Every structure is written in C-alpha cells, then in structure tokens.
C-alpha cells in the first residue's frame, strides 16, 4: 500500500499517507489480537478468571488468591525473580491503596506488569515519519542506472540503515527477517537482505525464497563461505542500490560458545567499515517458549553485541512469553516487536500496555 | 548459574542459620525444600511438577537421616538428586526396530526444535551403530527450503532422501517414500515433519493422518532443552493426540538447565531416548539421567565435560609433552602442535564453561586462539627447517630474515614469536619442575582425582561424616563409555566451515 505512495518520484500527500497507514495498522492490530487470543486462553486467561470470572469477581481477596496468582505467573515463564518482585509490588499496592475487590486488584496487577515491560521500552521511531511532515521535500531523482561516484557512495552509505539479527538456533531469525522486511516495505522502505547464515544446510535458500516472495534482493554467497565476506558484499550492494535498510541474517549460535560469539564481533567490524556506525540496530530474537535460559541468552548476547532490541517470536503458541518480563526487567534492552505466526504479516510493534491488555483481556 | 547460587550453597545457607537450635524440625526442612522448589523452577521444571516432586520427597527429607545429619543440606541434595534420576527414567533405551522392515520413525515437534537436524543425526547414528539403511523423508512442505535442507544433509552424509516437488501433500510423500524404500532395499524410514503448534488443529490432524497411514514404530517428540513451562502442555498434547514413543532433548550443548526434560518425561511417561549436543551430524548422544539430574540442579555436567576434553586431547601425547616441558626440551614443533590442539578443542572455554562458576572467569582467558593468529604462527614455524624448530637457539639474524620472507611476515613478527616461545619454554620448565600436576593434559586427571576417583560426583565432592561418597557409584554403567567421537564435537568459530579451509 504505502509502497505505492512512496515511489521515488512522487510526493505523497500527508493525508493520504495517514489514512493508508491507519488502515494498515488497524489490520495488523486485529491480526495480532487474534493470535494473542490463543495465548490468552492459557495461563493469562486463568488469571482473568481468577479475578474477574463470574463467581470469582465477587469473592474477597485472600491469601489463596495470591498463591494461585503466583502459580499462574510461574507457569507463564516469568521466572522466580520476576514473580517475587511482581507479588511484592502487588501486595504493597494492595495494602497501601486498601483495595477490597478482586477486579480492583486485577487492574493493579495489569499496571504492575505493564510497568515491568516499560523498563527500557522505547517506541520505535519510524523513519518514514519525516516524509509525512508538511513541507517535506523528496530528494532529487537520481538516475539509478548510472554507477555511483565515490562521493555518492559515501552519501548513500550514510543513509543506509543496517539491522543485524541474532539469536540461538531455531528461534525464528530468518522468518522474523522476512516479516520485518515486509513491515518496512509496507512503510515505503527499500529493503535488501544479507544471507549471513553460511553454516546451516539450505539457510541461504530459505532466505532467498522469502526474498522472492517479498520482491526483495538477497545478497548471498556459497554455503561455507565467511559470514564477514557476505556482510561486506551486502553492505556494498545495499549502498549501490540506494536501499533504505539492510537486514543481516546470521547463523544460530548458542551464547555459551565463545568462538561463535567472537564471529559476531567480526561481523560488526566488517559492517562498520563500509557503512558508518553499522549495524545501527541489533535485534535479538527470543523464542516465546523459552524458559529462564532466555534471560541468560539475552544477557550473554548483550555483552558481546550492542543489542538495541529484542523480538519475542512464536507468541501464537501457548507459551506466554513471560520471559519478556524477565528480560525487560533485567537486561535493559527494549522489546521491539512480537512475532505471532509463520506468515510474513505476523509481526507487530511491541507496546507494553497493548501487550498486557491483549494477554489479559 | 554461578557456583555461589547453586542449590547446595543455598541449602547450606538455610540450614546453617537453623542449626544453632540443635535439632532440625520439620518446619526447618520445609524451608530447605522451598529452596529446592525454587531451584527446580529456575531450571524450568514445570511449576506443578516441581510442587509434586517436592511433596513426594518431603517424607524422605523429614526422615531421621536429614534431621540428625551434620550436613543436612547435602543430605537433602542427595535425596533430591536420587529422586530426579529415578524420575528422569532409564538411560540407554533402544529405538524400536521393526521385526519386519522397514522400521518407520516419525519426528514431531514445535517449530525450531531441531527435528531436521536430528533426523540426519539419527540416520547417521543408526547406520553406524546397527548398520541400518535409512531413507530420510522430506515431509515438511511448508517451511521455505525445508526440503532443500534435508536433501543437503542427506547428501553430506551419503544418506538417501526422498522428496517430491512442490505441490505434493505430506500423505502422498510418505506413502511414496515407503514404496521407494522398498525399491531401494532400505530398511528404515525417518520422516521429518513440519514444526507445528500443539494447538493448531489442522496441523495436528495432519500428523494423525500420517500416523494412521504409516503406523510408525517410533514417534519421537523433539524438544528444545531451553523450553520453559509450556513443555508440559506441548508434550501432553502431542502424546495425547498423536502418540509418542520417545523424546529427544536437543541443544543440550547450551547452558539451559533442562528442567523441561523432567517435565516432559513426567507428564508423558515416555523415555528420553537421545540428546542432541551440537549442530554437526555426529552430535547425537545417549541420554544419561544422572547427568541431566546434575544439570537441572545447577551442578553442571562434569562428566560430559571430561569426556569432551578427553576426546580432543590425547593423553599420551599430553604426557610426552609434559616430559619435554619439564626437561626444557620443549621445542617449536611441540608448541605448534599444542596450539593446534587447543584450537581443535573447539575452545576450551566452552568445555570448562560447563563447570558452574568457572565459565565466566574463563571467558577472558587467552586460551582462545584466534584463527588468524594460528595461521600466522603456523606459517612462520613451517618456514623453519626441522633443526630450527627443534633448537630455536640456532636461529641467527640471517635465518630470521629467511623465515620472515618464506612465511610472508616480517622479521619483527618472527622475533616476537621466538621471544614468546622462549618465555613459555622457561615458564613451563619452572612450572612442571617437580609438580607433575600442571599442564593441559593433567587438568582432566586433576578433576578426576579431586572427586576421589568417582567421576560422577558433582564438582566439589560430597561426603558424609564418615567420608563415604554421598552419591553412589552408577549401576547402569554410565561411566563405561565407548570411545568418544574424535571429530570436533564442538563447532569451532571460523572453523565452522572446516571444509573450506585451505590445506597447507
């Protein structure tokens, strides 16, 4: 939709963009709601029933209630530390505000959980917002068929936004990249992908299939080649194509393998040489079904990589992604997106309040 | 988990505070059991299962042994450990092989759990261990390039793969695969299915249909070791809807405590048949309940560590090196070999990181040798004559020039290498002097000795008042391991793509 509006030679009218965007966002929101519904039916649905269910709502607040709640929070993978903290804060507020009914306590619980998620949260600054400002002047059309001069290359390099996607094996990096590419394209960006997983069988092909589906270029080499070399190529290519964003796929790596983490460092060096300050974003993908190890992962990756965000994937399952709470609380890196399925449209920007509401109802 | 957070430490902390009263009461023990429950939760054991587990051991825990023990903390751990081992089930459970071939194995599980990789590993394992002739079946038609992935693995291992072009449905594919297996005289079918959510009715139905049609002898649920509380629900759903006969816990080379293993085993009653310990095709191992029990309790997996280190390090060589170091006859060839060995171990820090608490300290150690550094060093040493390597003291200035030229480096680099080497040689002579406990080769032996010869004890031997080891020797022969595989159990960093390294 927006892609058409942001064709290089036209200047879109702000109202047009607003309207299209609003519509798009609403559709996305509905889809996400649907997906999270399933999650809600699990533990969080039980929490709802505990507090606001027909009979329960009229009952007084008891010690048993807190115990039941504790159990439910544990089963959502919040982890011992976060559960204790939430319980502590909840009790305190309950006492301080002298709450009497369960629904009241419920709302307080949602408040507390939202606050946990808000630690380190930053709304994503959309680059296309600049295009919607009144008086926006699109850049002079460039004949992209001509080769670039060194000056032009440097200028284009400054404008390229590079996103590095990392995580342990099997979390959904490649699928998330496809979703992200789709998401950005729908907001008018020209995206290029780098097939940086040169290890796993058919990892390159997997990304290439997505590339075809999206109509997006994928820079790749042979399986077994050096990921740094692929990144180098991709940065060059993306700049030459005057792309807005380059998303780099990497091989899954367990965070306790020192030399694989070392490999990541090298990728940083290579990217930074061609595109100043690249990668500008490093997204860690966490599988929503992951337990407490998700926190260990986040901490370990944060040490090696300059993490700028976390994506919680596979929230369409029954796992509540409670580890998101623990990560928010402990790692100080915001959650940027959530993944809710295997289709390229199954991605949403993360928003603490919306997330809690969607899960709790 | 750091050593200081470990369950044993915390239990000791809890009981120390209480021991001033003289005798422990039941309430005191309950306080300790609370710590146990928290430890299990932190290890991702399902909440309900952790609660039941603690309740079930409470009786034993408040029994005389603990109340009167001088170190009740350790007694509690022993009870917990023993119970965990029992619950985790038998080790070494065989795969069901059909009396009349072909044996049909179906791999199922959530997305990203490791089914495809495990499928390939299983084929290799069964081929090696019992001469099976498997046919891999690419029944995942949904994930982009899933078929290509299995085909690529099959090619790599020389195992045939059956697949069909886009458009075929899984039911047709598996049906035709069976026919093909029979044509080719293959006696085993390993079906790789698409990852699916246990709550996806349509996809679960597909599995049921495949099951009904193929009647698998073995349906293996592949579970990621880092799975959290939902492991129970997932396992239960797969077991109830499709039926499973075995579990494979994957990604055990990570540092997840693996409580999911207890959860899935408890809720399905189905044995854990294998564990996946790496990305390479040979990284499929037998499941040892005692090791996973240790791991869940945060006590690390020392046995596996020792084995991995041993498989990469030839003890005999180590002893010889030791002797040389001591005599001061350690030369550049030894130096080169040692560097290569360290490199081959796939980073000793990964291995030692399996010891809780130590891992972090070792991250910054210089045992990690950069691939480029090694190449550089290799080049220089290989430009030397045999005599020069054996006796670096003969290397004069003109020889240095020659070596520099021959290796594409400069004289400065050669000087630096020689200086470092001489320093190292001097240091080794001093260190290995009379103390034969030093040296890489003896790290393993040291650890074994520390544990009083019983290598099953977790780090820091636990003994009762009379000095008897608290954890009994294994009866299932888990200490008697066959020779561990010697080809890179750990995936090296830049060594990942080993086949592309130029031979010198």
Secondary structure (3-state) at A248: strand
Residue B495 clears pLDDT 50, i.e. is over it: no
Report the alpha-carbon distance of residue A105 to residue A120 in Å, rounded: 25
Residues in A touching B43 (Cβ below 8 Å): 292
Alpha-carbon distance of A256 to A266, in angstroms, equals: 17
**CA distances, B403 to each of B225, B338, B412 (Å):** 50, 21, 11
Task: Indicate if the pLDDT at residue A246 is higher than 90.
Answer: yes
How would you class B186 by CB atoms within 10 Å of its CB: exposed for 0-12, middle for 13-18, buried for 19 or more?
buried
pLDDT exceeds 70 at position B67:
no
Cβ–Cβ contact B500 with A under 8 A = yes
Give me the mean pLDDT over the A318-341 stretch: 89
Query: Which of the 8 DSSP states describes residue B227?
Result: B
Which burial class, exposed, middle or buried, applies to B412 when counting CB atoms under 10 A from its CB (0-12, 13-18, 19+)?
A: exposed
pLDDT attached to residue A72: 86
Out of A66-80, A193-207, B449-463, which region has the weakest mean confidence (pLDDT)?
B449-463
| pLDDT at residue A29 greater than cutoff 90 | no
Which pLDDT score, from 0 to 100, does residue A175 have? Answer: 97
Contacts with B149 from chain A: Cβ below 8 Å:
200-203, 205-206
Q: Which residues of chain B make contact with A317, given a CB cutoff of 8 A?
A: 110, 197-199, 230
Record: contact A257-B350, CB cut-off 8 A: yes
- Specify whether the CB–CB gap between B239 and B264 falls below 8 A: no
Q: What is the CATH number of the domain that holds A286?
A: 3.40.50.300
DSSP annotation of B244 reads: -
Q: Which residue of B has its CA nearest to A71?
A: B47
Cβ atoms of residues B264 and B292 within 8 Å: no
Stated as kind and residue range, the H or E segment containing B68 is helix B64-68
**Residue from A184, A201, A313 nearest A251 by CA:** A201
Q: What percent of chain A lies above the pLDDT cut of 90?
A: 52
Quick one: tokens of A138? 């699109």
**pLDDT > 70 fraction of chain B, expressed in percent and rounded:** 68
**Per-residue confidence at A56, pLDDT binned at 50, 70, 90?**
confident
- In chain A, which residue ranges form alpha helices assigned H by DSSP? 2-5, 14-39, 45-52, 63-75, 79-96, 102-118, 129-132, 150-159, 173-185, 203-214, 227-240, 258-274, 293-304, 323-331, 352-360
C-alpha dihedral, A110 to A113 to A114 to A115, nearest 10°: 130
Regarding the domain with residue range B308-450, which homologous superfamily does it belong to in the CATH classification? Signal recognition particle, SRP54 subunit, M-domain (1.10.260.30)
The residue of chain B nearest to residue A201, with distances taken between CA atoms, is: B149
- Average pLDDT of B94-121? 96
List CB contacts (< 8 A) between B47 and chain A: 71, 74-75
The domain of A219 spans 150-351
**Which pLDDT value is given to residue A91?**
94
Residue B11 pLDDT > 90: no
**pLDDT at res. B315:** 61
Q: What is the pLDDT of residue A356?
A: 86
Q: What confidence category does residue A147 fall into, taking pLDDT thresholds of 50, 70 and 90?
A: confident
ipTM value of the model?
Answer: 0.90
B3 DSSP assignment: G
Mean pLDDT of chain A: 87
Give the pLDDT band (50/70/90) at residue B23.
Answer: low
CA A67/CA B439 separation, integer angstroms: 54
Does residue A34 sit within a domain? no
Domain B3-88 matching CATH 1.10.287.130: the answer reads no
Residue A230 domain flag: yes
Both tokens assigned to A116: 């946990």
DSSP string, A118-149: HTT------TTHHHHSTT--PPPP--TTSPPP
Nearest-CA neighbor of B199 among B235, B236, B227, B237? B237
DSSP classification of residue B498: G
How does pLDDT run across A85-139, given as a tens digit for each residue? 999 999 999 999 998 888 889 899 999 999 999 887 888 877 767 666 777 666 6
The helix (H) or strand (E) run that includes residue A282 is strand A281-287
Q: What is the pLDDT of residue A184?
A: 92
Evaluate if residue B473 carries a pLDDT over 70: no
Answer whether B273's CB lies under 8 Å from B235's CB: no
pLDDT of residue B474: 36
Lowest mean pLDDT among A26-40, A171-185, B463-477: B463-477
Nearest to A199 among B254, B256, B496 (CB): B496
SS3 label, residue B310 = helix
Is residue A194 included in any domain, yes or no? Answer: yes
Testing the interface with A: which of B230, B241, B305 to mutate, by most A Cβ within 10 A? B230
Return the pLDDT at A188.
83
3-state class (DSSP) for residue B250: strand
Cβ within 8 Å of B, A 35-54: 38, 42
First to last CA, chain B: 42
pLDDT at residue B69 in the model = 67
Question: Quick one: pLDDT band at residue B350, thresholds 50, 70, 90?
Answer: low
Q: What is the 3-state secondary structure (H, E, C) of A72-113?
A: HHHHCCCHHHHHHHHHHHHHHHHHHCCCCEHHHHHHHHHHHH
The answer to whether residue A70 sits within a structural domain is no
In the prediction, which pLDDT does A58 show? 82
pLDDT of residue A36: 72
Whether residue B59 has pLDDT greater than 50:
yes
d(CA B432, CA B427): 8
- Tens digits of per-residue pLDDT, B303-316? 666 666 565 555 66
Q: What integer pLDDT is reported at residue B362 of this predicted model? A: 44
CB contact under 8 A, A289 and B359: no
State how many domains chain A has. 1
Name the band, by pLDDT with cuts 50, 70 and 90, for residue A205: very high
Q: How confident is the model at residue B462 (pLDDT cuts 50, 70, 90)?
A: very low
Interface contact flag, A256 B254, Cβ < 8 Å = yes
Distant-in-sequence, close-in-space partners of B437: CB < 8 Å, separation ≥ 6: B446
Is pLDDT at A307 greater than 70 in this prediction?
yes
C-alpha distance from residue B164 to each of B148, B171, B223 (Å)? 11, 11, 27
pLDDT in tens, B407-452: 888 888 888 888 878 877 776 666 554 443 344 444 444 444 433 3
Secondary structure class of A339 (helix, strand, coil):
strand
| pLDDT band at residue B469 under the 50/70/90 scheme | very low
Ramachandran sector of residue B38 (left: φ over 0; alpha: ψ -120 to 50; beta: rest) = alpha
The residue in chain A having the minimum alpha-carbon distance to the alpha carbon of residue B225 is A290
Of A290, A320, A342, the CB nearest to B226: A290
User: Which residue's entry shows tokens 């590993």?
Assistant: B121
Highest mean pLDDT: which range of A6-10, A16-20, A212-216, B403-407: A212-216
> Could you tell me which of A119, A86, A121 has the C-alpha nearest to residue A105?
A86
Is the CB of residue A198 less than 8 Å away from at least one CB of chain B?
A: yes
Q: What mean pLDDT, rounded, does chain B reach?
A: 77
What pLDDT, in 10s, does the model give residues B132-164? Answer: 999 999 999 999 999 999 999 999 999 999 999
Instruction: Please state, in angstroms and rounded to a whole number, the distance separating the CA atoms of residues B224 and A311.
Output: 19
User: Which of A150-164, B338-352, B445-459 is predicted least confidently?
Assistant: B445-459
Q: What is the structure's pLDDT at B118?
A: 98
Q: How many CB atoms lie within 10 A of CB A96?
A: 8
**Of A283, A176, A194, nearest in space to A243 by CA:** A194
Identify the bridge partners of residue A282 per DSSP, sorted by sequence position. Answer: A164
Give the mean model confidence (pLDDT) for residues B218-231: 96
- Angle at CA of residue B141, ends B139 and B147, nearest 5°: 70
Give the closest residue to B501 by CA, choosing from A224, A360, A138: A224
Q: What is the pLDDT of residue B423?
A: 74
- Dihedral angle computed from the Cα positions of residues A69, A71, A76 and A81, in that order, rounded to the nearest 10 degrees: 90
Taking Cα atoms as reference points, which of B345, B273, B342, B338 lies closest to residue B89? B273
* Residue B318 to residues A162, B324, B437, B449, Cα–Cα distance (Å): 47, 10, 12, 17
Q: Is the pLDDT of residue B5 over 90?
A: no
Distance of CA A361 to the CA centre of its chain: 22
Extents of the domains making up chain B: 3-88, 103-299, 308-450
Residue B458 φ/ψ, nearest 5 degrees: -65, 165
State which residue of chain B sits closest to A317, comparing Cα positions.
Answer: B197
CB neighbour list of residue B390: distance below 8 Å, 6 or more residues apart: B331, B332, B333
B156-205: pLDDT as tens digits: 999 999 999 999 999 999 999 999 999 999 999 999 999 999 999 999 99
Write the CATH number of the domain with boundaries B103-299: 3.40.50.300
pLDDT score recorded for residue B438? 42
Sheet of strand A335-339, all strands in order from the earlier edge strand to the far edge: A217-219, A191-196, A245-250, A161-166, A281-287, A309-313, A335-339, A347-349
As a whole-number percent, the residues of chain B with pLDDT over 90 amount to 42
- What distance in Å separates the CA atoms of residue A135 and residue A359, rounded to the nearest whole number? 41
Chain B contact for A341 (CB, 8 A cutoff): no
How many Cβ atoms are within 10 Å of B212's Cβ, its own excluded?
9
Q: Kindly tell me if the per-residue pLDDT of B262 is higher than 80.
A: yes
A79, A205, A258: residue with CB nearest B145: A205
* DSSP string for B191-212: EEPPP--TT-HHHHHHHHHHHH
């Amino acid at each position: 939709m927006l892609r058409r509006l942001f064709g290089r030679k036209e200047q879109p009218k702000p109202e047009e963009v607003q309207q299209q965007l609003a519509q798009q966002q609403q559709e996305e929101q509905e889809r996400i709601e649907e997906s999270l519904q399933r999650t809600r039916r699990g533990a969080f649905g039980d929490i709802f029933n505990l507090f606001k269910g027909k009979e329960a709502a009229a009952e007084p607040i008891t010690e048993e209630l807190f115990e039941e709640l504790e159990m439910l929070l544990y089963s959502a993978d919040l982890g011992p530390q976060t559960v204790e903290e939430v319980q502590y804060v909840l009790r305190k507020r309950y006492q301080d505000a002298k709450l009497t009914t369960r629904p009241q306590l419920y709302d307080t619980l949602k408040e507390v959980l939202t606050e946990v998620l808000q630690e380190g949260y930053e709304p994503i600054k959309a680059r296309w917002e600049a295009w919607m400002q009144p008086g926006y002047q699109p850049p002079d059309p460039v004949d992209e068929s001509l080769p670039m001069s060194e000056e032009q290359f440097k200028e284009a390099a400054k404008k390229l936004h590079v996103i590095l996607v990392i995580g342990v094996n099997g979390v959904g990096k490649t699928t998330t990249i496809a979703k992200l590419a789709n998401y950005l394209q729908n907001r008018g960006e020209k995206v290029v992908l780098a097939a940086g997983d040169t290890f796993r069988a058919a990892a390159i092909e997997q990304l290439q299939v997505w590339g075809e589906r999206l109509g997006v270029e994928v820079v790749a080499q042979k399986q077994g080649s050096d990921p740094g070399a692929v990144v180098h190529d991709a940065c060059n290519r993306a700049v030459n194509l005057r792309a807005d964003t380059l998303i780099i796929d990497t091989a899954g790596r367990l965070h306790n393998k020192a030399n694989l983490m070392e490999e990541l460092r090298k990728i940083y060096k290579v990217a930074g040489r061609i595109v100043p300050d690249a990668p500008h974003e490093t997204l860690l993908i966490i599988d929503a079904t992951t337990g407490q190890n998700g926190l260990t992962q986040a901490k370990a990756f944060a040490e090696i990589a300059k993490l700028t965000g976390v994506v919680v994937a596979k929230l369409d399952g029954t796992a509540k992604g409670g580890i998101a709470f623990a990560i928010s609380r402990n790692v100080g890196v915001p959650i940027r997106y959530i993944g809710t399925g295997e289709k390229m449209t199954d991605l949403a920007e993360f928003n603490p309040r919306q997330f809690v509401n969607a899960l709790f109802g | 988990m750091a050593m200081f957070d470990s369950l044993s430490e915390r239990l000791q902390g809890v009981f120390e505070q209480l021991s001033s009263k003289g005798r422990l009461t039941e309430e005191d023990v309950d306080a300790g059991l609370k710590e146990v429950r928290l430890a299990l939760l932190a290890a991702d054991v399902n909440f309900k299962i952790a609660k039941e587990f603690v309740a079930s051991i409470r009786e034993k825990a408040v029994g005389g042994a603990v109340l009167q023990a001088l170190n009740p903390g350790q007694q509690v751990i022993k009870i917990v450990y023993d119970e965990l081992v029992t619950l985790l089930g038998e080790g070494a459970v065989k795969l069901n092989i059909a009396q009349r071939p072909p044996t049909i194995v179906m791999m199922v599980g959530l997305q990203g759990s490791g089914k495809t990789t495990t499928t390939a590993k299983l084929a290799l394992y069964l081929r090696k261990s019992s001469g099976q002739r498997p046919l891999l079946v690419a029944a995942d038609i949904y994930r982009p390039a899933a078929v290509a992935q299995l085909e690529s693995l099959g090619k790599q291992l020389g195992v045939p793969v059956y697949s069909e072009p886009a458009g075929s449905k899984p039911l047709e594919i598996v049906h035709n695969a069976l026919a093909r297996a029979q044509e080719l005289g293959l006696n085993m079918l390993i079906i790789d299915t698409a990852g699916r959510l246990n709550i996806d009715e349509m996809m679960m139905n597909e599995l049921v249909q495949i099951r009904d049609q193929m009647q698998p002898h073995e349906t293996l649920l592949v579970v990621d070791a880092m799975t959290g509380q939902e492991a129970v629900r997932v396992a239960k759903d797969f077991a109830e809807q499709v039926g499973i006969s075995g579990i494979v816990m994957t990604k055990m080379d990570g540092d997840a405590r693996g409580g999911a293993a207890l959860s899935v085993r408890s809720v399905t009653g189905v044995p854990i048949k294998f564990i996946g310990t790496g990305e390479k095709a040979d990284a499929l191992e037998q499941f040892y309940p005692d090791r996973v029990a240790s791991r869940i309790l945060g006590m690390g997996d020392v046995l596996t560590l020792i084995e991995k280190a041993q498989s990469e390090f030839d003890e005999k060589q180590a002893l010889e090196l030791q002797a040389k170091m001591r005599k001061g006859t350690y030369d550049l060839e030894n130096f080169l070999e040692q560097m290569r060995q360290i490199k081959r171990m796939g980073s000793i820090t990964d291995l030692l990181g399996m010891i809780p608490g130590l891992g972090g300290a070792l991250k910054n150690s210089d045992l990690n040798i950069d691939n480029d550094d090694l190449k550089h060093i290799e080049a220089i040493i290989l430009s030397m004559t045999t005599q020069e390597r054996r006796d670096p003291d003969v290397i004069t200035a003109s020889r240095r020039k020659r070596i520099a030229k021959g290796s594409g480096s400069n004289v400065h680099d050669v000087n630096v290498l020689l200086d470092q080497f001489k320093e190292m040689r001097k240091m080794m002579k001093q260190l290995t002097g009379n103390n034969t406990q030093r040296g890489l080769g003896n790290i393993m032996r040291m650890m074994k000795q520390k544990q009083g010869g019983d290598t099953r004890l977790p780090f820091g031997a636990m003994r009762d008042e009379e000095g008897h080891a608290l954890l009994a020797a294994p009866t299932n022969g888990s200490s008697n391991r066959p020779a561990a595989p010697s080809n890179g159990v750990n995936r090296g960093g830049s060594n990942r793509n080993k086949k592309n390294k130029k031979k010198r």
